[in-house]
Amino acid sequence: MEKIYNNQVEVVLDIIGGKWKSHIILHLGNGPVRTGELKRLVTGITQKMLIEKLKELEQDGLVSRTVYNQVPPRVEYSLTTFGASLKDVLKVVCDWGDDYVRQRYPNDEVIIKHDLHR
Amino acid sequence: MEKIYNNQVEVVLDIIGGKWKSHIILHLGNGPVRTGELKRLVTGITQKMLIEKLKELEQDGLVSRTVYNQVPPRVEYSLTTFGASLKDVLKVVCDWGDDYVRQRYPNDEVIIKHDLHR
DNA sequence: CCGTATCCTACAGGATACTG
DNA sequence: CAGTATCCTGTAGGATACGG
């Protein structure tokens, strides 16, 4: 069953679109992160959404999941090569978003909670 | 009333997210386009969605709308400076999406209807 | 600590018909 | 030709509770 997109941007939107995925990817930049730590980093996300989105990112080849057989359980997530390259692209997007907000909303009408990349 | 985002990527997703906006922006690249022509270019979009998304893009400062007082009515849309710069960013996104699809789905499991930028 | 299962709600997106 | 007004539906996302 083929997937059909109008253009390549839609492919990327399908991968990082929605409320949480970009935030997750940007927090996976510095090496492996445990599930609980990630939940703490991605402010406001529920466990259900975190696991769900991580699973989707894994299926799309952007995130790898490592399980350590120990008690208590330990699971770590990190970016794959694909994920890392996408993160570089997101950096470009971030920079544009930054300029956009600064120029268009110079008086804090728009608030960025986690000001990344600058 | 302030808007709050987790990161700058969300700002951009708010602007170009959804099913149609990226497609519209990419088609507004080559100068002004009339409404009807745009509807023809953006395959499958309904009139309601087209107008709705154009209005949102205009409010976000990415698209400008020019009305010519004549009969029959003539309305043209084009990218603003902001819109044009965003289009350059989308080009980077497109390129990544292209590589991604080529490497991960080399056998046409994924189809791009409008193969842009290459 | 990590993941799953239910249930629920809001809203993006679509079909269609109408106006100037 | 360009735009508006209704009505409808699928699904992303959230609250909550449970299990290994």
- B97-116 mean pLDDT: 90
Residue A16 Cβ < 7 Å to strand D: no
Instruction: Look up the pTM and report it.
Output: 0.93
A114 vs A92, higher pLDDT: A92
d(Cα B15, Cα B55) in Å, to the nearest integer?
A: 12
Closest nucleotide over all strands to B46 (CA to C1'): C14
Distance CA B70 to C1' D11 in A: 43
* CB spacing of A104 vs B82 below 8 angstroms: yes
Q: What percentage of chain B has pLDDT greater than the value 90?
A: 82
- B22-50 mean pLDDT: 96
Residue-wise burial string across B85-110, b where 16 or more C-beta atoms lie within 10 A, e elsewhere: ebbebbbbbbebbbebbeeeeeeeeb
Measure in Å the smallest separation between the Cα of A108 and chain B Cα atoms. 8
Chain C: nucleotides under 7 Å from a protein CB? 1-6, 12-17, 20
Chain D: nucleotides under 7 Å from a protein CB? 1-6, 12-17, 20
Note the pLDDT of residue A30. 86
d(Cα A24, Cα A54) in Å, to the nearest integer?
A: 8
Calculate ∠ Cα A114-A57-A78, nearest 5°. 70
Distance CA B49 to C1' D12 in A: 19
> What are A10's two structure tokens?
């839609």
